[in-house]
Structure 1
Amino acid sequence: MSGGAVASLPEGLLDGGAWFRVEAAPNASTVRRSAERLAVELGMPERRINDLSIVAAEAAGNLAKHADEGVLLVRAVRRGGQAGVELIALDRGPGMADLAHSFGDGHSTAGTLGIGLGAIVRQATWCDMHSVPGKGTVLAVQVWPGEPPTTPWAAGITRPITGEPISGDAFAVRDADGRRQVMMCDGLGHGGPAAAAAHEAVRAFIDAPAAPPAAVLEHLHRRISHTRGAAVAVAELDAGAGLVRYAGLGNIAGTVLTPGLPRKGMVSLPGITGHQRRQIREFDYPITRDAIVLMHSDGVVDRWDPADYPGLLVRSPLVIAATVLRDAGVRRDDAGVLVARLP
């Protein structure tokens, strides 16, 4: 498990949250209590904390009852001037062929009442899910204190290397004077120093002037020179031009994925943001409304095929990112995935 104080983080900066292995009922209770504590720290009203408690208990309970290798991430989310709690449950269980049927009360695969998914839908502010028989299920849930903010056009997820409490990978999303930009970074090494470099890159990205990706990356290069440095890539999705503008230094992989078409890799140049830079160049790639931009650190391998996940690319960016992390992330390194699409 990893985590820490999160209430002081400003909007736009996402904490890594706390990961839990959920293999039995006591683990599910731990998840529920952690979600409740986070909601109290964030100042959520008691009514919504009670709703969150039900959601957390059902999501974690489903993992304990039905899943193989079930894990669950609890983290704070901030958007539209609000702070809420997000739960992301990943498993390698049997999966579900008919999600609509599975969400209905009374459906069960373990002889239980089968009310878990229905209760989650009713109590959560937002949820999304993807499941493939034989591969497992990803469930993403958010509970907000008030009216739900707009569904984000980009989302990401990170996980630390086995044995470390915090990840050196991080991501950020911003809209700077109409420029919709995302950043993925991988602080050099692992643990605290790597996380410090990545978090400084996130702050520098949020504060950077509204400029094309190459100029933003140049800004980051100067701002994080006092850290050990990081691999960083910045992408800008321009709906009007139908383009992704992309600039990267180091081992951040960027890909445009369009249903039915081969994946299109984007170019990151050799270097270390903050220390070693031969040049910073920006490249343009066409993108359509049904495509996504996927960026990840070198803790995620490219050996996964979207064709093996029917319907995945039309799910929310968060569910796509979590699915890729589950099946392509490696345990011997920090891992991070970021997904964006044209708004």
Structure 2
Amino acid sequence: MSGGAVASQPEGLLDGGVWFRVEEPGTASAVRRAAERLAADLAMPEKRVADLSIVAAEAAGNLVKHADQGTILVRAVRAADQAGVELIAVDSGPGMADVDRAIGDGHSTAGTLGIGLGAILRQASRWDLHSVPGRGTVLVVQVWPGVAPEPSWAAGLTRPLTGESVSGDACAVREIDGRRQMLVSDGLGHGGLAAAASHEAVRVFREAPAVPPAQMVELLHRALGHTRGAALAVAEADRESAVIRYAGLGNISGTVLAPDGSRRGMVSMPGIAGHQRRQVREYDYPLAPGAIVLMHSDGVVDRWNAADSPGLLIRTPAVIAATVLRDAGTRRDDAGVLVARFS
């Protein structure tokens, strides 16, 4: 068991999972049942399914009792030789002033989420947590059937527009010939056709040869002609040269966030992959030690500020992505966030 080390999908589409808004005890029960069903589908051992059931019940129960605007994502996580279940619990308050104390003894004061944390973390394979008083808490927990795999360098989250069952946004990562590459795609519009466009972009991205970001965007543009099209961007870390290479079409935002919270935006060109494009251009940006790369669709507003969440940038990519989605994601659009740390 350890904090600060959450694994995610090693390659390809980052599992979208199912989001639950947790306000009533009945919803908490639905979260537990969904987690159990997913674990059974993944053929997890009965003992680990029982452990996961405790984690899901405690995490959802805490949101019902103590949180504001609580939501939980239930999704599969996969490694080369096994699959597990990840729960991401997000709320907008009241937060915890002393996380270490809450983790250490399950202590809770003033209605905060300390209650149940001990039970959750004892059953978890991996976990990470970030909490700010008055702003809320993000808890990421994974339960694996065996020994947890190595932590991933990236994590992505998507959430559909309110009222839709699927998201037109998709995130993917891959490592090929030493290249670590990221994709964020925002299918035009909403619903099934938007999702189909983004899933096609992910498929092509996964199967393409090892090419730089600009060439990858060109490949994706040609491949999406039979879909309604998408805004998309591809980033690649050159760790030897300490740069991030970036190319995009349409309203995908890319930012390099330094450990001190300073940020540098990356440039996408106007267009819609599959339908309209000008010349695709690739840009290089410095990648300082400890920096993270944040990419998101236009369902996440750019005014998000890391300074509002002290200590966030040292957390795992999954916790950072969930916090950005909570604080800057809109309910009037599909939203997708992808976060990577390369050093």
Do these two structures clear the TM 0.5 threshold for a shared fold by scoring above it? yes
Aligned match of 1:92: 92
TM-score (ref. length: structure 2): 0.94
Aligned match of 2:296: 296
After TM superposition, the structure 1 stretch with the greater mean CA deviation from structure 2, 12-21 or 29-38, is: 12-21
3-state DSSP of counterpart to 1:323: helix
In the TM superposition, residue 340 of structure 1 has moved relative to its aligned partner by 0.6
Shift of the 312–114 alpha-carbon distance from structure 1 to 2, 3 Å rule, reads: closer
In the TM superposition, residue 342 of structure 1 has moved relative to its aligned partner by 0.8
Distance in 2 separating the partners of 1:114 and 1:248: 42
In the TM superposition, residue 109 of structure 1 has moved relative to its aligned partner by 3.0
Please list the CA deviations of residues 183-234 of structure 1 after superposition, one character each: whole Å capped at 9, or x if unmatched.
Answer: 0010000000000001111111111111111111111112221111100100
Shift of the 224–128 alpha-carbon distance from structure 1 to 2, 3 Å rule, reads: same
Please list the CA deviations of residues 46-86 of structure 1 after superposition, one character each: whole Å capped at 9, or x if unmatched.
Answer: 11111110110111111111100001010111123321111
Runs (4+) of structure 1 exceeding 4 A deviation are: 110-115
Matches within 5 A, 1:313-328: 313-328=313-328
TM-score (ref. length: structure 1): 0.94
Where does structure 2 lack aligned partners over 5 or more consecutive residues? 1-8
After TM superposition, the structure 1 stretch with the greater mean CA deviation from structure 2, 167-176 or 106-115, is: 106-115
| Paired residues of 1:58 and 1:119 also in contact (CA < 8 A) | yes
Shift of the 282–69 alpha-carbon distance from structure 1 to 2, 3 Å rule, reads: same
3-state DSSP of counterpart to 1:165: coil
Aligned match of 1:31: 31
Please list the CA deviations of residues 147-203 of structure 1 after superposition, one character each: whole Å capped at 9, or x if unmatched.
Answer: 111101010101000100010000001001110001001000000000000111111
Q: CA RMSD in A?
A: 1.7
Identity of aligned residues (%): 72
Distance in 1 separating the partners of 2:305 and 2:13: 31
Shift of the 162–305 alpha-carbon distance from structure 1 to 2, 3 Å rule, reads: same
1:144 aligned onto 2:153: no
Distance in 2 separating the partners of 1:139 and 1:23: 17
| Paired residues of 1:157 and 1:338 also in contact (CA < 8 A) | yes
Please list the CA deviations of residues 88-140 of structure 1 after superposition, one character each: whole Å capped at 9, or x if unmatched.
Answer: 01101210111111112340236899651111111011110111110000011
Amino acid of the residue matched to residue 99 of structure 2?
A: L
Distance in 1 separating the partners of 2:262 and 2:96: 27
3-state DSSP of counterpart to 2:184: strand
1:108 aligned onto 2:104: no
In the TM superposition, residue 262 of structure 1 has moved relative to its aligned partner by 2.9
Aligned match of 2:67: 67
Aligned match of 1:159: 159
Shift of the 330–261 alpha-carbon distance from structure 1 to 2, 3 Å rule, reads: closer
Aligned match of 1:6: none
In the TM superposition, residue 276 of structure 1 has moved relative to its aligned partner by 0.9
Where does structure 1 lack aligned partners over 5 or more consecutive residues? 1-8
In the alignment of these two chains, the number of paired residues is 335
3-state DSSP of counterpart to 2:180: strand
In the TM superposition, residue 44 of structure 1 has moved relative to its aligned partner by 0.9
**Which has the bigger relative contact order, CA under 8 A and spacing at least 6?**
2
Distance in 1 separating the partners of 2:198 and 2:211: 21
